[in-house]
């Protein structure tokens, strides 16, 4: 696997979990239920996971771009 290729599925999984946490927070708010983490806790956890996924995905993109740069020696 090339550089950054292992991080992309990790970022996608974290983004999916972040969306799931956000939806659980929305569901808790709509049902007006008292859950262990509450509406704010689930939503904040989802946002945090999405931010981590974004940073990991950007890091993977930078690693891929760095690997593509070819240094041409002077003649």
pTM (2 d.p.) = 0.73
Q: Can you tell me the distance from the alpha carbon of 26 to that of 47, in angstroms, rounded to the nearest whole number? A: 12
> What's the confidence (pLDDT) of residue 73?
64
pLDDT tens-place string over residues 30-71: 887 777 777 778 888 888 999 999 999 899 888 888 877 765
CB atoms closer than 10 angstroms to residue 69: 6
> What's the confidence (pLDDT) of residue 72?
58
CB atoms closer than 10 angstroms to residue 13: 13
> What's the confidence (pLDDT) of residue 52?
92
Those residues with Cβ within 8 angstroms of residue 50's Cβ, 6 or more apart along the chain or in another chain: 14, 15, 18, 19, 22
> What's the confidence (pLDDT) of residue 54?
92
């Amino acid at each position: 696997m090339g550089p950054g290729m292992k991080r992309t599925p990790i970022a996608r999984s974290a983004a999916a979990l972040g969306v799931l946490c956000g939806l659980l927070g929305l569901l808790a708010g709509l049902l007006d239920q008292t859950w262990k983490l509450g509406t704010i806790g689930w939503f904040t956890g989802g946002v945090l996971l999405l931010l981590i996924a974004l940073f990991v995905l950007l890091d993977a993109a930078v690693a891929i771009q760095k690997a593509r740069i070819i240094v041409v020696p002077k003649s």
